[in-house]
Amino acid sequence: MPLKLSKNNSAPYEYLTVPTTKTYAAETAFVIGDVVNAGSYNYRCIGAGTTAASAPSWPTTTDATVTDGTVTWRCESATANPASVSATVDNTGSPATVDSDVIDLYLVARTYNYTSIAISILNEQSGMDWQLSADAGDTYEDSLDSTDLPAMDATSTDQVKAIKAKVVVANNGTIATGIYDVPDIQVSSTESPS
C-alpha cells in the first residue's frame, strides 16, 4: 500500500485522492477500506464482511451508513475528496500576496517500511503557490523530500506524520477571494516489506 495523505490522523483514514473503486457484487467479501461506486457516490467499507444477495438501498447523505449483509458501508462523495483552504484578497496589489489559512494533513504509512519519501504539488493554478511544511509550520516549501521527511516504518503499526498546507495567493485581481481545493499531490517513496 503506497503512502497516502489523509484529512485525519487515525483509522479509518479519510484519504484525499479519489479512491480506486472495486466493482460491487452481491454475496462477495469486502474488507475495511474497499470502495465501490453506486450512482453519484462512493461507498467505503468500514465494517468487513460479505454483501447480501442484492444491493442495499444506498444512502445519498455523506457519512451516512448502510448495512449490506455483514458489510457496513459509509457514503462518500464520488468526486475527489479534497482538502480546502480559504483566503481573502482585496486585489489591490498591496500586499502582493496573501496567505490562506493553514490546514493539517497527515501522511499515512501502513504495512511497509518507507524511505526516500517526497511530496510535491502538481497542476497549480496560475497565481496560486501551494506550500507544505513538515515542521509544524516553521518552514514552508513548494515540495518536501527525504531531508524534510524521515523514513516511516509501518511494518508493525501504522505511522502518521503531520503535514501543514497553505496557499499563497496573488493579490492583483487574478484570483478572487474564496475557498480553494488543494490540487493534485504526488507522494513518492521506496517501500519495502521490512
- Domains in the chain (CATH in brackets) are 18-77 (no CATH), 84-192 (2.60.40.1090)
CB 165 within 8 A of CB 91: no
The average confidence (pLDDT) of the chain is 86
Mean pLDDT score, 123-133? 87
Whether residue 11 has pLDDT greater than 90: no
Mean pLDDT score, 112-132? 88
Whether residue 163 has pLDDT greater than 90: yes
Min mean pLDDT across 8-17, 87-96, 128-137 is at 8-17
Grid cell 451516512 is found at 64
Whether residue 20 has pLDDT greater than 70: no
Whether residue 190 has pLDDT greater than 70: yes
Which range in 26-35, 50-59, 89-98, 174-183 is most confidently predicted, on average pLDDT? 50-59
Q: Residue 137: CB partners within 8 Å, gap ≥ 6?
A: 102, 164
Q: What is the pLDDT of residue 60?
A: 86
Q: What is the pLDDT of residue 73?
A: 93
Q: Identify the bridge partners of residue 75 per DSSP, sorted by sequence position.
A: 43
Mean pLDDT score, 15-19? 64
Distance CA 34, CA 73 (A): 9
Q: Identify the bridge partners of residue 65 per DSSP, sorted by sequence position.
A: 74
Distance CA 31, CA 35 (A): 9
CB 31 within 8 A of CB 50: no
Distance CA 153, CA 156 (A): 8
Residue with the bigger pLDDT between 151 and 20: it is 151
